[in-house]
Amino acid sequence: MSDVIGHQNARVRIKDLLLRAYIGIKEEEINNQQDVLINVELTYDASGAIHRNEIEAALNYRTITKQIIQHVDGNRFALLERLTHEVLSIVMEHEAVQWAQVEIDKPHALRYAESVSVCLEAHR
């Protein structure tokens, strides 16, 4: 197979990671978990992963997902901005990540809206 000429930056998307979280400022939210829907998008140089075809050469998206799950499970958050920032920080702790965007939805948090979300991004 011939090599395709071009950059080998990969765009990884973790889509609709549905977790239960203590998130919010109302008493009902402080006392009860609710759904949060997490979307992560990141880029990294995947040339090593492409050439070696081994997980050791890749940015392991399973590892990142498990870290996010553990963090959300083990903590309480008031604002959606703070939760989004902390998830983005977990992603950016991986040195290989060049750029990342995290969007977190609180479905049905607002009485008259389907959902509300906060989106943050970071780059090196």
Ligand X SMILES: Nc1nc2c(c(=O)[nH]1)N=C([C@H](O)[C@H](O)COP(=O)(O)OP(=O)(O)OP(=O)(O)O)CN2
**Smaller CB separation from ligand X, 29 or 46:** 29
**Smaller CB separation from ligand X, 58 or 87:** 87
Q: 83-91 long-range CB contacts below 8 Å, 24 or more apart?
A: 83/21, 83/23, 83/36, 83/118, 84/118, 84/119, 84/120, 85/120, 87/38, 87/40, 88/120, 88/121, 88/122, 90/64, 91/40, 91/42, 91/64
Least distance between ligand X and beta carbon 81 (Å): 6
**How many Å separate Cα 40 from the centre of its chain?**
3
- In contact, 42 and 100? CB cutoff 8 Å: yes
Residue nearest to ligand X (CB): 24
Least distance between ligand X and beta carbon 82 (Å): 8
Least distance between ligand X and beta carbon 76 (Å): 12
The contact set with ligand X (CB under 6 A) reads 24-26, 29, 79-81, 106, 109-111
Least distance between ligand X and beta carbon 111 (Å): 4
**Smaller CB separation from ligand X, 91 or 105:** 105
**Smaller CB separation from ligand X, 58 or 109:** 109
